[in-house]
């Protein structure tokens, strides 16, 4: 049995201490986890970009070797441009929604924590009241 357990044998002290240790370790590990996810997402985007650019290069080479010079209308080029702009805007909107969701969730956690503290305080007061009533009853 380690030194801490020998000094503090009550379940409440041990539970609170171990709970604090667990959440401290979790907070220390979380940034590394998030960094690895961000790096993985960036690697995924780079791989996706490489695949698309490779496909375009192969199509260009094939067209050149075949002597094919595509005549593309101005409206087709405009459509490609508009699709790209809409894709970028969709990605920006998705990120805005995620950011707004994070802010709202953070506010919900703050409210939850405040409510939990109030609930605990109220329960403590009820417990103290009931214990005083019980002690009064024992005296009589």
Domains contained in the chain, number = 2
67-78: pLDDT as tens digits: 998 889 999 999
100-114: pLDDT as tens digits: 999 999 999 999 999
Q: For residue 138, give both structure tokens.
A: 């024992």
> Does the pLDDT of residue 1 top 60, yes or no?
no
| Domain limit, last residue, from 70, 92, 109 | 70
Tell me what the mean pLDDT of segment 35-59 comes to: 95
Alpha helices in 8-73 (DSSP H): 11-66
Based on the domain organization, do 14 and 76 belong to the same domain? no
The reported pTM is 0.60
- What pLDDT score does 52 carry? 96
Question: Cα 80 from chain centroid?
Answer: 34
Domain span at 21 = 1-70
């Amino acid at each position: 049995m380690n030194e801490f357990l020998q000094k503090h044998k009550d379940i409440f002290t041990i539970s609170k201490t171990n709970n604090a240790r667990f959440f401290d370790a979790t907070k220390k590990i979380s940034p590394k986890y998030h960094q690895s996810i961000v790096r993985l997402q960036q690697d995924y985007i780079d791989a996706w970009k490489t695949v698309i650019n490779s496909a375009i290069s192969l199509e260009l080479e094939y067209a050149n070797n075949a002597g094919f010079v595509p005549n593309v209308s101005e409206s087709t080029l405009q459509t490609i441009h508009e699709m790209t702009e809409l894709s970028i805007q969709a990605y920006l909107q998705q990120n805005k929604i995620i950011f707004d969701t994070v802010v709202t969730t953070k506010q919900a956690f703050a409210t939850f924590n405040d409510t939990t503290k109030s609930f605990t305080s109220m329960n403590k007061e009820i417990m103290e009241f009931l214990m005083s009533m019980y002690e009064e009853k024992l005296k009589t």
